[in-house]
Structures are given as C-alpha cells and as structure tokens.
C-alpha cells in the first residue's frame, strides 16, 4: 500500500509545489516508487517536472491529463501517467522512479463545467480510480491548489496524511486555522463515502516553514503556529504528533532556477549556490518519513549533487 500525502494550504504561494517536487525527488533517490498527482490547474508541478516543451507537446491530446479521468469515456488514470518523468536535455531518464499524473490548465473546468456522470462525488470516483495504480507505488503525493474545491477534495479524500507548507508570517497563521476548519467540515461531508471504502480521514502531520530568510527572527510565528497546533490537538482535530517541523526550508533564489531547468533541487549541479536549500529538502523528507513511518533513514544522495551524512 502506498503512503498518500497531500501538500495543502488554502493560502497561495506558500511552497506546496516546491516542497512536494523536492520531497518526491528525495524519495525517488532513495529507490522509492513515487507518483505525483497534480491537482492544481496552474499545473506548476507538471511543468516543473516535464519542462515546458514536453508539457506543451502533451497538450495536443487532452486524454493525457488528470481531468480526463473525470469524464465519461475519458482516460483511465494509469493511461495518463508519465513514467520516470524527470529527463535530461537528451530525453534520457534523470531520476528513476518518479512518475507524474499531469494536469493542464483545463483542470479548472472540473469546478463548474464537467458534468458528473458517476453517481458519487468526484472525490470518491478518483479514490476508486486510484486503486488501479496504487500498488505500483510506495508514495503518492498530491499537489493541491490554494483553495478547497474539487481538486483539493480529491487529494484530501485519497490521502492518509497532510503536510502544510507555510510561510512564517501573520497571514499564514490565520490561514492555518481556516484550513483546519475546512478539513473538519469536509470530513463530515464525505463521511458516508469514507465509510463505504473503509478509508479514514487524513491526519495533519504539521507545518513545514518555507522560504525562511537567513537571520530573520521567526520566533513569534513559530509560537503562534505551535499554540494553534496544541489547541487543535486538544480538540482532536490534529494528531498528538503534529508539529511545526524543526527543519525549515531557507529562502533561496535557486528554487526558481530549478523550475526553469526542470530539475528538482537534488539534481542541481554542485556548483550552484543551492546546496544548502537542497539539504533542507532532504532533512524535511527525513522528518516526513519519521512522522509517517517512525524511521528517519539517511538519504543517500549521489556525488553529482549532494553528499549528506
Ligand atoms: N525556499 C524558497 N526560496 C525562495 N523562493 C521560493 C522558495 N520556495 C518557493 N519559492 C518560490 O515561491 C513561489 C511559490 O512557490 P510554490 O509554487 O512552491 O508555492 P505554492 O504554494 O505551490 O503556490 P500555489 O499556491 O500558487 O500553488 C515560486 O515562485 C517559487 O519559486
Ligand atoms: Mg503550487
């Protein structure tokens, strides 16, 4: 059975896609089989992992994208999956084991325009479709849009865990409260469909702080997030182990450069002044493994990029 995790925050631009792409890549490096499902119509993780040229080419056929799984006479999920999606300039596999179910901008039609022929909500339909491929993976990650519409609902319904990438600022603290409220109401709304599938609601593992500027004092946001988590633990809305991850992702312009190069940080050249932020992603991957499986293994990153102990 795959471990299924949504990277979710209702607030936009908090680092959901960057964290997901980089944690997924670290796991693939460890030899894990990872599927990224892009549920954001912005298609950021799809474009990052495929690079624009290959993603554009894929756009010639709508059957290649996740949206098609929701359409009557559409695609099976397994037929949308791009295997070993990270490639070098020659098109050779650059990272084995990382697959992608890509999205295109038309995924936004799922919200209002695509009729639902399934006699069950879209999220229950996608859960059932996922069964077909789930045993091929160790991890399935869902890249969520910054809202709580159909794409996020599908992700949350299919997930066992939720990681909340957030920035260390006052507005993000407010946004976390809203997110927990939304998760609670969705849990009630989807209860019947979960019962039918013996699928428990996902648990929030915690907050991963992103784009932390060197030298910035973020004690106050950390205290506020921690106080919120403690309150939600007491209300049994998040598990006891939920926390603000002690590991943070530092601010680095190389994250944007990695997008342009179509590479995860762990594949960026050693010459890049980006290795520290790549280490941050490795450490956060270890934290996620610790919270989901209880172990915190060393992640063997090859010499061409990082070497970590
Ligand atoms: N550690 C970082 N340092 C500097 N810039 C970063 C860092 N992480 C992400 N960014 C930049 O911040 C922007 C938002 O990041 P990202 O796309 O990962 O967030 P998101 O939460 O997925 O956004 P959205 O809500 O739009 O999906 C991007 O331009 C990205 O390159
Ligand atoms: Mg994103």
Taking only the tens place, the pLDDT of each residue in 243-266 is 999 999 999 999 988 888 888 988
Q: Taking a C-beta distance cutoff of 8 angstroms, is the pair 184, 237 a contact? A: yes
Query: CB of 65 within 8 A of CB of 104?
Result: yes
Residue-wise pLDDT tens digits, 184-208: 999 999 999 999 999 999 999 999 9
In a domain, 301, yes or no: no
Which H helix or E strand runs over 258? helix 254-261
Q: Is residue 307 part of a domain?
A: no
308 lies in some domain? no
Q: Residues of the chain with pLDDT > 70: what percent?
A: 95
Reply yes or no on whether the pLDDT at 278 is more than 50. Answer: yes
Between the CA of 259 and the centroid of ligand 2 the distance, in Å, is 12
Size of the chain in residues: 309
Would the pTM count as exceeding 0.85?
yes
- Nearest-CA residue for ligand 1 atom 11 is 256
Per the domain annotation, does 298 fall within a domain? no
In a domain, 129, yes or no: yes
pLDDT band at 271 (very low <50, low <70, confident <90, very high): low
How far apart are the CA of 184 and the centre of ligand 2, in A?
Answer: 22
CATH code of the domain in which 179 resides: 3.40.50.300
Q: Residue 283: its pLDDT value, please?
A: 94
Residues 6 or more apart in contact with residue 268 via CB below 8 angstroms: 254, 257, 258, 261, 274, 275, 278, 305
- Residue 267 in this model has a pLDDT that exceeds 90: no
Residue 252 beta carbon below 6 angstroms from any ligand 1 atom:
yes
Structure-block tokens of residue 194 = 């979960």
Whose CA is closest to 267, among 64, 10, 93, 36? 93
Using the atom order of ligand 1, give the atom closest to the CA of residue 280. 1
> What is the structure's pLDDT at 272?
59
Gap between the Cα atoms of 9 and 7, Å rounded: 7
Q: What's the pLDDT band for 282 if we cut at 50, 70, 90? A: very high
306: pLDDT strictly greater than 70 = no
Residue 300 lies inside a defined structural domain of this protein: no
Query: In this model, does residue 300 exceed pLDDT 70?
Result: no
Q: How many domains does the chain have?
A: 1
> pLDDT at residue 294 above 90?
no
> Which of 175, 208, 256, 280 to mutate for ligand 1's pocket (most ligand atoms within 8 Å of CB)?
256
pLDDT at 236 over 90: yes
Give the pLDDT of residue 232.
98
3-state SS class at 233: helix
| 13 CB within 6 A, ligand 1 | yes
pLDDT computed for residue 308 by the predictor: 35
Q: Phi then psi for 142, rounded to 5 degrees?
A: -115, 125
Q: What is the pLDDT of residues 133-160, one digit of tens each?
A: 999 999 999 999 999 999 999 999 999 9
- Do the domain assignments include residue 253? yes
Is 202 inside any structural domain?
A: yes
For 126, phi then psi, to 5°, come to -65, -40
Residue with token string 């980089």: 22
Structure tokens at 179: 């997110």
Full domain range(s) for residue 204: 3-293
Closest residue CA from atom 18 of ligand 1 = 15
| Dist. CA 72–CA 92, nearest whole Å | 35
Picking from 23, 239, 249, the residue whose alpha carbon sits closest to that of residue 138 is 23
């Amino acid at each position: 059975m795959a471990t299924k995790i949504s990277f979710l925050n209702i607030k936009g631009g908090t680092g959901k896609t960057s964290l997901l792409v980089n944690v997924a890549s670290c796991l693939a490096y460890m030899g894990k089989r990872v599927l990224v499902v892009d549920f954001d119509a912005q298609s950021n993780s799809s474009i990052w992992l495929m690079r624009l040229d290959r993603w554009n080419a894929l756009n010639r056929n709508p059957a290649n994208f996740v949206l098609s799984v929701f359409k009557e006479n559409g695609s099976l999920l397994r037929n949308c999956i791009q295997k070993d999606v990270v490639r070098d300039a020659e098109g050779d596999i650059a990272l084995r084991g990382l697959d992608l179910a890509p999205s295109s901008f038309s995924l936004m039609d799922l919200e209002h325009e695509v009729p639902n022929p399934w006699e069950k909500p879209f999220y229950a339909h996608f859960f059932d479709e996922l069964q077909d491929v789930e045993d091929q993976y160790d991890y399935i990650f869902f890249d969520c849009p910054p809202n709580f519409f159909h794409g996020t609902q599908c992700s949350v319904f299919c997930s066992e865990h939720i990681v909340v990438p957030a920035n260390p600022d006052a507005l993000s603290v407010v946004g976390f409260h809203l997110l927990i409220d939304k998760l609670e109401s969705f849990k009630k709304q989807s209860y019947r469909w979960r019962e039918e599938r013996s699928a428990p609601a996902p648990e929030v593992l915690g907050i991963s702080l992103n784009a932390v500027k060197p030298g910035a004092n973020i004690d106050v946001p950390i205290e506020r997030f921690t106080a919120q988590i403690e309150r939600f633990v007491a209300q049994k809305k998040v598990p006891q182990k939920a926390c603000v991850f002690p590991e943070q992702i530092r601010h680095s312009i190389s994250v944007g450069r990695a997008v342009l190069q179509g590479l995860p940080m762990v594949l960026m050249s050693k010459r890049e002044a980006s290795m520290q932020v790549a280490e941050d992603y490795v450490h956060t991957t270890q934290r996620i493994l610790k919270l989901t499986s209880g172990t915190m293994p060393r992640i063997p990153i090859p010499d061409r990029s990082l070497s970590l102990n």
